[in-house]
């Protein structure tokens, strides 16, 4: 681990604490699995609004497996991409019943074999339900990890591997939690609040942009 990475982790811990938390409301593993599937290209806040009624209507994996496709599409319409999401949720719940007695499995291989479940969703489940060290590379994590120089790749799977190599295992889950909070409040896209940022002195991207700004200022001064 680079010295700067250690300083970034210490600063994030000091600001946000070291308690695990999940932004998607759920009471059990299958609810989190479905909520995470719904969160693709959708905000957690919107998903939480939808699942409040959804989990009252569909009270079990069996209920989702037997759901009418068109009706489920209407129930989740506001999360976007509702046709694919509804189709995958029904197929996934059928597979949970057929392969796992209705239980959500814990391994990355079994999870990613389910309909509509990629590495990101699988790692959310592994980290939050089974407390297995895992890194969820969402848009915030990919963008900010690169800005901070902790990873280099734009490819989510490659970025995940880079982060696993660079970060200590006891901070894999915390990195997801901290960076999502940081990305929503300070390092926002496309207009980060760099002047308010407590990681400003550790950010290569900020340093690079400051040098570019100074360079432009000097060039303009010579004209």
pLDDT in tens, 73-110: 999 999 999 999 999 999 999 999 999 999 999 999 99
Give the integer Cα–Cα distance in Å for 125 and 217. 49
Q: What pLDDT score was predicted for residue 213? A: 80
pLDDT in tens, 156-167: 999 999 999 999
pLDDT over 70 percentage in the chain: 96
Task: Kindly list the structural domains of the chain, giving each domain's residue range(s) and its CATH number in brackets, ordered by start.
Answer: 1-20+136-214 (1.10.1670.10), 29-128 (1.10.340.30)
Give the integer Cα–Cα distance in Å for 141 and 107. 22
Residues belonging to the active site: 120, 138
Label each residue of 48-114 as H, E or C. Answer: HHHHHHHHHHCCCHHHHHCCCHHHHHHHCHHHCCHHHHHHHHHHHHHHHHHHHCCCCCCCHHHHHCC
pLDDT in tens, 131-170: 999 999 999 999 999 999 999 999 999 999 999 999 999 9
């Amino acid at each position: 681990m680079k010295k700067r990475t250690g300083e970034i982790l210490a600063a994030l811990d000091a600001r946000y604490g070291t308690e695990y938390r999940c932004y998607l409301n759920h009471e059990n593993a299958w609810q989190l699995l479905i909520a995470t599937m719904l969160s693709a290209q959708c905000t957690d806040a919107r998903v939480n609004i939808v699942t409040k009624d959804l989990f009252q209507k569909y009270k079990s994996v069996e209920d989702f497996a037997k759901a009418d496709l068109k009706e489920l599409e209407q129930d989740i319409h506001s999360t976007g991409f509702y046709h694919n999401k509804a189709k995958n949720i029904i197929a996934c719940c059928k597979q949970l019943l057929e392969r796992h007695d209705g239980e959500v499995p814990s391994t990355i291989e079994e999870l990613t074999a389910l309909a509509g479940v990629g590495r990101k969703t699988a790692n959310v489940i592994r980290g939050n339900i089974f407390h297995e060290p895992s890194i969820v590379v969402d848009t915030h994590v990919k963008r900010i990890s690169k800005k901070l120089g902790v990873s280099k790749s734009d490819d989510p799977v490659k970025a995940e591997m880079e982060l696993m190599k660079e970060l200590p295992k006891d901070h894999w889950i915390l990195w997801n939690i901290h960076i999502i909070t940081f990305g929503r409040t300070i390092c926002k896209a496309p207009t980060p609040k760099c002047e308010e940022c407590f990681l400003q002195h550790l950010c290569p991207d900020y340093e690079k942009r400051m040098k570019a700004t100074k360079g432009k200022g000097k060039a303009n001064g010579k004209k």
